[in-house]
Amino acid sequence: MKPSPPSSLTILLFLLLPTITISLSPPLPPTPSPTSLPHSSIPSSSSSSPLDPNQLKALQSLNIPTSKDPCSQPSFHNATQCDASKPFRHLISLRLTNCSSYLSLSFTALKSLSTLNTLQLLNCPITPIRFPPQLTSSLRSFTCINSLHKISGVWLSHLANLTELTVSNVQLKASGPYVILSHMTKLKTLTISHCNLTGSLPRHIHSNLTHIDFSNNNLKGTIPPSITMLDSLEILNLSSNALKGEIPSSIGDLISLKNLSLASNSFSGSVPDSLSAIPGLVHLDLSSNQLNGSIPKFISEMRNLNYLNLANNNLRGVLPFNSSFIKSLAVLKVGGNSNLCYNHSVLSSKLKLEVAPCDKHGMPVSPPPSKRSSSADDSTDSDYNDDGDYDDGGSHKKEHHHGPNKVVLGVAIALSSIVFLIVFLILCSKCCR
């Protein structure tokens, strides 16, 4: 019985593949892998002390596999992290992910986990229980994403030592953010988003917050002075709420601000001039409000700006930007402002700004081109396009044209060689029969 061609082919491929893979992968540094060391059967953590037996039991009650030492890194799904204390190590970080809805938190288990400073619940639709005081006192970071059946602001407010709070996609019952935050005087990073949180922004926030994200809730009212007094604030995201009124000029007091989104609210009035006082602003999103007046020229002098979205407002007049400024941005959106126009002797229609060119009075000559008909606009606008300088298709810079990835190319070449080889071998085997 002769060997069947397919099996000999497979053997040949197996012989060839490693050579191809090795030639593709970058040379590995000659570090000895831990598994090749003489004592490979002994896990590295065995040199340090084991996990506290009570905490081991608590983990088992939470369906966290403990067959492998939860203190060895990386642990099962990186769910646990321990300190280095003796004779027993203690958990400092725990993440529960994708829990069964039958899982229940027990007070006893949580009590023995009172060394935790970080607790994360991701996709854990379990029933919240009162946390033991030892745990609320030690927790510094609490994350609850799409987890816990229903929580109240009062329940959260007990976690008074937190520096970091993230609550997202959770049914949260509170008459306002102040209920949650009033005792959290050490908070630095705060996210409460997609929670249908009602009420207004708190009148007092007495802490050194660097990050506030209240996006996608039902917050009402105006921006109070308490917010603009947070001079360490780097991220402020109030998008998709029901906030209204003018953007206070005190917003310029937020001198550390990098990202600001007030998008999808009902803010009115003009874009405040005080924004020019924020030196490090990289991301400005004021889209989908009712802002009026003209776009201030100082925006084009903000050296760090990278993302600018002023779309869907009532802004009017001539766009005060030149093409070198527009090219310096990764994203520029100004469409949906029906009285806004661009000076066609300054900017090319090829930038596809979704605004109409101006007449000599600084008014749009025609209704602004819609997204869908933008290709048709090229021909109608071409008589305004008397400057050759901007013909490099500025709008296309937003799509990053990387050259074909070298690894992809290598793989493609390797694959086509394999196919070629197979065809060659099949032909060969047919001939030799």
Ligand X SMILES: *[C@@H]1O[C@H](CO)[C@@H](O)[C@H](O)[C@H]1NC(C)=O
**Interface residues with ligand X (CB under 6 A)?**
74, 77-78, 97-98, 123, 136-137, 160-161, 169-171, 185-186, 193-196, 206-208, 215-216, 235, 237, 239, 259, 261, 268-269, 282-283, 285, 292-293, 300-301, 306-307, 318, 322, 324-325, 343, 345-346, 358, 360, 362
Q: How far is the CB of 106 from ligand X (least distance, A)?
A: 21
The nearer residue to ligand X, 141 or 216, going by C-beta atoms, is 216
Q: How far is the CB of 259 from ligand X (least distance, A)?
A: 4
Token pair in block for residue 383: 């008589």
Question: Is residue 242 packed enough to be buried (19+ CB in 10 Å), middle (13-18) or exposed (0-12)?
Answer: middle
Is the separation of the CB atoms in 218 and 196 below 8 Å? yes
The nearer residue to ligand X, 56 or 319, going by C-beta atoms, is 319
The nearer residue to ligand X, 204 or 396, going by C-beta atoms, is 204
Give whole-number Cα distances, 88 to 50, 54, 59, 140, 180, in Å.
5, 10, 15, 22, 35
Q: How far is the CB of 204 from ligand X (least distance, A)?
A: 11
The nearer residue to ligand X, 224 or 280, going by C-beta atoms, is 280
The nearer residue to ligand X, 72 or 343, going by C-beta atoms, is 343
Q: How far is the CB of 317 from ligand X (least distance, A)?
A: 9
The nearer residue to ligand X, 244 or 425, going by C-beta atoms, is 244
The nearer residue to ligand X, 45 or 239, going by C-beta atoms, is 239
Q: How far is the CB of 323 from ligand X (least distance, A)?
A: 7
Taking the C-alpha atoms of residue 286 and residue 308, their distance in angstroms, rounded to an integer, is 8
Taking the C-alpha atoms of residue 137 and residue 385, their distance in angstroms, rounded to an integer, is 66
- Angle in degrees, CA 197, 170, 102, rounded to 5: 155
The nearer residue to ligand X, 224 or 269, going by C-beta atoms, is 269
Taking the C-alpha atoms of residue 93 and residue 82, their distance in angstroms, rounded to an integer, is 7
Taking the C-alpha atoms of residue 380 and residue 371, their distance in angstroms, rounded to an integer, is 15
Taking the C-alpha atoms of residue 229 and residue 239, their distance in angstroms, rounded to an integer, is 19
Q: How far is the CB of 378 from ligand X (least distance, A)?
A: 20
Q: How far is the CB of 313 from ligand X (least distance, A)?
A: 10
Q: How far is the CB of 139 from ligand X (least distance, A)?
A: 9
Q: Which amino acid, one-letter code, is at 10?
A: T
The nearer residue to ligand X, 101 or 324, going by C-beta atoms, is 324
Taking the C-alpha atoms of residue 416 and residue 116, their distance in angstroms, rounded to an integer, is 54
Taking the C-alpha atoms of residue 153 and residue 168, their distance in angstroms, rounded to an integer, is 13
Token pair in block for residue 132: 């033991």
Q: Count of CB atoms within 10 A of residue 353's CB?
A: 25
Q: How far is the CB of 335 from ligand X (least distance, A)?
A: 18
> Cβ neighbours of residue 57 under 8 Å, at least 6 residues apart?
109, 112
Residue 148 region by backbone torsions, left for phi larger than 0, else alpha for psi between -120 and 50, else beta: left
